[in-house]
A = this chain, B = another copy of it.
Amino acid sequence: MQTQIQHAIQDDYADDYAWCYGCGRLNEHGYHLRTGWAGDNTVTYYEPRPAHTAIPGFVYGGLIASIIDCHGTGSAALALHRKNGHEPGDGVEPPRFVTASLKTDFLKPTPEKAILKAVGTVEEIHSKKWVVHTELYANDTLCAKGEVVAAVMPSTFTQKK
């Protein structure tokens, strides 16, 4: 099974916006989630840390929600970037999204010691707002479904410190 993204949208975020605990490449403590295209779908992989327990043997739901969250904003960024004529790795800074809402349905207990795979389908609902529907798999078993409404980052977020 492929478990690596070659060209991830997060690789191209501007340095100022690359500190997210979930998907910021510059956050040394974070998860470093990376999201890329797989045909018309988006994909993110993550191998939970041993501490990411819910009940021993199963992955903690907050981590799953976190993956769906950053996968959602990354997927929306991929989609708008493509709409604008760009792909990750082409040297153009992509748009950056924030999460307006995040919904996770936990369908089955998610087993530990598996690489999780989030697969997204992206739908534009407004020029600055996208919905990302995500299925999260462990060992090819669908364990959770998610829906993120992602909005282009508003100016309140972009004031530099």
Give every chain B residue within 8 A of A28 (Cβ-Cβ). Answer: 51
Among the listed B22, B24, B62, B153, which residue makes an inter-chain contact with A21, where contact means beta carbons less than 8 Å apart? B62
Is A142's CB within 8 Å of the partner chain B?
A: no
Chain A 141-158 per-residue mask, 1 if CB under 8 angstroms from chain B, else 0: 000000000000100111
A19 to B52, CA, bound (A): 9
Is A20's CB within 8 Å of the partner chain B?
A: yes
CB distance from A149 to the nearest CB of B (A): 9
Is A63's CB within 8 Å of the partner chain B?
A: yes
Q: How many chain copies does the complex carry?
A: 2
CB distance from A37 to the nearest CB of B (A): 23
A102 to B62, CA, bound (A): 9
Whether B22 contacts A56 by the Cβ 8 Å rule is: no
| Known pairs A55-B157, A102-B104 / 15 extra A-B pairs, C-beta < 8 Å | A19-B56, A20-B60, A21-B62, A22-B61, A27-B53, A30-B51, A55-B158, A61-B99, A62-B62, A62-B63, A63-B66, A65-B104, A100-B106, A101-B105, A109-B156
Interface of A toward B, CB cutoff 8 Å? 16-17, 19-22, 24, 27-30, 49, 51-58, 60-63, 65-67, 69-70, 98-106, 109, 153, 156-159, 161
25 contacts between A and B (CB under 8 A): A16-B55, A17-B55, A19-B55, A20-B60, A21-B51, A21-B53, A21-B60, A21-B62, A22-B60, A27-B53, A29-B51, A54-B98, A54-B157, A55-B153, A55-B157, A58-B157, A61-B69, A62-B70, A63-B66, A65-B104, A102-B102, A102-B103, A102-B104, A103-B103, A109-B156
